[in-house]
Amino acid sequence: MTKLTRPALLSPLALAAIGLLSGAAGTAQAQAAEAGKLQTITVTAERRTENIRDVPSSITALSGEILEVLNSGGQDIRLLSARVPSLNIESSFGRAFPRFYIRGLGNTDFDLNASQPVSLVFDDVVQENPILKGFPIFDLERIEVLRGPQGTLFGRNSPAGVVKFDSAKPGKTFGGYGSISLGRFSAVNVEGAVNVPLSDAAALRVSLQSQNRDDWVKNTNSRGPTQDLEGYADNAARVQLLVTPTKNLSALFNVHARDLEGSARVFRANIIQPGGNGFVPGFDESKVSQDGINSQDVKSVGGSLRLRWDLGTMALSSITGYESVESFSRGDIDGGFGAVFLGPGNFGPGFIPFDAESGDGLPKHRQFTQELRLESTGKGALQWLGGVYWFDEELNIDSFNFSSLGGNAQNGFATQKQDNQAWAVFGSVNLDVSPQLKLRGGLRYTKDEKDFVADRLQAPPFSPTFIGRRTVDTSADNTSGDFSATYAVSPTMNVYGRVATGFRAPSIQGRLLFGDTLSVARSEKVTSYEAGVKADLFDRRARVSASVFSYTIKDQQLTAVGGAANFNQLINAAKTQGQGLEFDLQAFVTENLLLTLGGSYNATKIKDPGLRVDACGSGCTVLDPITAPANPAVGKFAPTVSIDGNPLPQAPEVTLNFSARYGWAVAGGEAFVMTDWAYRSKVNFFLYESTEFTGKALLEGGLRAGYNFGGGKYEAAVFVRNIADQIRVVGGIDFNNLTGFINEPRTFGVSFKANF
């Protein structure tokens, strides 16, 4: 590439990247760089800014053009799934409530107080509730994916890793950008930001995103109350004010909000071919036949204040965060219409034993966090960091049942209330033993307490007789940490080793609509070993990173979902083991052609001979040993099976990513063509294994072609996402039929962007 007029392609797999969001305005401007050479990538994975090559753990950093490319079709945060080694993201709530999995570790729980072993941190503030984790991604400086336990600096609920988002910050130069794309299904996606210097000591940055799409799925049941589905209007904004009253003090104020209205996840009855895991003959993704109401509404607002004082050889940081979210999702759980007892022709598609329609909401939620951190800033061989952390969350959950056959009227109502407080004290030390050998270590002590109350105020049909309010309290503490060593084999190559532990606090569930039992999962603890190499090659024309890892989880928290009782139950596995490898490669083949290749292999196994779950209330083909058969005569509609030796759910063994970008000078600008592909192997949807509820391998690719002109100020492009239009069942509802939900179909469109 003779001359770059915008950030060069950043691999969605690479531990290093080309394009960084830079410039005083914070817009995506090209940095000065030699043609055909990779730029240095800095990250803050360990709360200090440093070269990603020097960080002794497996990290991927995303920024610049790749985020624009992935976001061009208007997709939500799930667009990152399989674009990073060992990362999978799925959801049974649609654009809300993403569930993250790193190295196979995640949580399939669909309750609104579900904890996840992957922590999501947005602008240094943890987003604990799963609805908060779905906040749109726009105007970002960088995304970092930290694989493996992060038990020192991020602490609780991060035994699998951390996904870290950093917004573009206010700068001292006026500028910004605006972009618009028009696509299939009347999609209109708008994004923009403006940076305004207010004085020598203050700057303001306002960012927004609006993603909109018409409904594209038609309900063929004319009596269904919701006739069109899969549309949305998803709007978000962020305002930041940076104030530096003195050279030693800075204050960054952040206020953000989201408003989402549209369809909840569309469940499709009996779309899985019995005896296999493909679609039934005649399946049409653009059609459903339902008698339930489908809707989704999410509103969130939050803010933070980040203060930093330079004290000479030390710096003190204070991070105060507040988040609040309200949500409600309602859907047709059985995925069809009618019921078999109404007689032939009055139910379908396929077998519908009885109607199932439900809704879950967060009518009240608030989260407050406070972190104080003191760190050394000198240039000596010894560097240190220490701090304290406070977390306080309150939330209420409403669960509803509705009668699709009775005019969609409410016939069941239960509530949950959870208060969660946690505090921690932590510290870490970096020691340069020699110019080649560097050691790091840290510890964190955490105390976590929860108070939980659940009531059923209206009993739906067939629910057991309620015998009173249910309450439970949990209290746990833990000391976790990490130790690593990095050795510089050469000025451009490091090898490292790392051992780390992580902790997830006890979890509580109490879906009392169809049961009177609360379930509590004990603390989960993980120990992980990792070794790797990171290197810049061929005078920075190529970059490679690779790691191998092994981990053991004690008392892993698992969720037994669904079954004939439509119930959610938390359990602990005595032990789970995993091992695998990850790699990233990025290279300029020529000055004009950049290629990236990356991937991961993850092998996970539950090791608990005594662990049993109820399997398949849907008539599926169970592959696990049956320890107790179904017996409808006594109300046991599903067999009990052993899951010892099973892989973890939603944990693909293999992920692969590939991308290529070719650019050439044309008429004073740059024309370019870019393609990106992501593959994941098959996954189990549930803890037990069955033929039908095994998701097939999925390959999704994109293509983007465009022209940059005006000195890099403008770009016009055309794009296609899921170019092969590969449609797969990506999740199931194990209730009373072979119901599933699918990935996004092919989308395409045009886009235009202007920087100023």
Smallest CA-to-CA distance from 738 within 219, 229, 268, 221 is with: 268
* Residue at 598 is within a domain: no
Q: What percent of the chain is predicted at pLDDT more than 70?
A: 94
* Residue at 714 is within a domain: no
The 10s digit of each residue's pLDDT in 417-473 is 999 999 999 999 999 999 999 999 999 999 999 999 999 999 888 777 777 889 999
C-alpha 277/C-alpha 682 separation (Å) is: 10
Which pair of structure tokens corresponds to residue 145?
A: 């994916």
Question: Over 116-180, what HEC string results?
Answer: CCEEEEECCEECCCCCHHHCCCCCEEEEEEEECCCCCCCCCCCCCEEEEEEECCCCCCCEEEEEE
Q: pTM for this structure?
A: 0.92
* Residue at 13 is within a domain: no
The pLDDT assigned to 2 comes to 33
pLDDT mean over 164-170: 96
pLDDT mean over 283-311: 97
Least confidently predicted of 37-41, 145-149, 209-213 = 37-41
* Residue at 543 is within a domain: no
Residue 619: other Cβ atoms inside 10 A:
13
The pLDDT assigned to 359 comes to 96
* Residue at 150 is within a domain: yes
The pLDDT assigned to 564 comes to 52
pLDDT mean over 557-574: 80
Residue 282: other Cβ atoms inside 10 A:
7
What's the domain range around 333?
Answer: 42-538+552-592+605-707+719-755
The 10s digit of each residue's pLDDT in 529-556 is 999 999 999 998 999 999 999 999 999 9
The pLDDT assigned to 514 comes to 81
The pLDDT assigned to 566 comes to 54
The pLDDT assigned to 17 comes to 31
The pLDDT assigned to 34 comes to 67
Instruction: Summarize the chain as % helix, strand, coil (round to 5).
Output: 5, 55, 40
- Using only C-alpha atoms, the chain has a radius of gyration, in whole angstroms, of 26
Give residue 190's Cα distance to chain centre: 22
C-alpha 65/C-alpha 170 separation (Å) is: 20
C-alpha 477/C-alpha 474 separation (Å) is: 10
The 10s digit of each residue's pLDDT in 328-350 is 999 999 999 999 999 999 999 99
C-alpha 206/C-alpha 257 separation (Å) is: 12
The pLDDT assigned to 24 comes to 28
pLDDT mean over 123-130: 96
> Would the pLDDT of 26 be above 60?
no
Which residues are paired to 190 by β-bridges? 180, 210
> Which pLDDT band holds residue 680 (cuts at 50, 70, 90)?
very high
State how many domains the chain has: 1
Q: What percent of the chain is predicted at pLDDT more than 90?
A: 81
């022709």: which residue's tokens?
345
Write down the mean pLDDT value for the chain: 91
Three-state DSSP state, 80: helix
* Residue at 3 is within a domain: no
The pLDDT assigned to 19 comes to 33
pLDDT mean over 136-140: 95
The 10s digit of each residue's pLDDT in 686-706 is 999 999 999 999 999 999 999
* Residue at 419 is within a domain: yes
Q: Is the dihedral of CA 330, 332, 338, 341 positive or negative?
A: negative
pLDDT mean over 56-68: 88
Which pair of structure tokens corresponds to residue 258?
A: 């989201």
> Would the pLDDT of 33 be above 60?
no
List all residues 6 or more positions away from 30 whose beta carbon is below 8 Å from its beta carbon.
Answer: 4, 5, 6, 7, 8, 19, 712
C-alpha 193/C-alpha 174 separation (Å) is: 11
pLDDT mean over 53-74: 87
Q: Which amino acid is at 683?
A: V
> Which pLDDT band holds residue 655 (cuts at 50, 70, 90)?
very high
* Residue at 22 is within a domain: no
Residue 194 belongs to domain with CATH number: 2.40.170.20
